[in-house]
Structure 1
Amino acid sequence: MSAGEISRAATARDTGLEEAHERANRRWAEVLQETRVAQTGVQILFGFLLSVAFTPRFEDLGAFDTSVYVVTVILGAAATGALIAPVSLHRLLTGQQMKDDLVKIAGRLMVTGLVLLALTIGCTVLLILHVVLPNLLAEILAGAILLWFALCWYVLPVWLKKRSARRR
Structure 2
Amino acid sequence: MRESGSLEQQLLEYKAILEHSGSAVVCTRNRRVYRCNPRAEALFGWPAGTLVGQRDRVFYPDSAACEALREQARAALSVGETLDIEMQLARRDGSGFVAHLIGRAIDPAAPGQGAVWIVRDITQEVDARESSAQLLREQQLISRTPKPVS
Same fold (TM over 0.5): no
Write 1 or 2 for the structure with the bigger share of helix: 1
Which protein is richer in strand relative to its size? 2
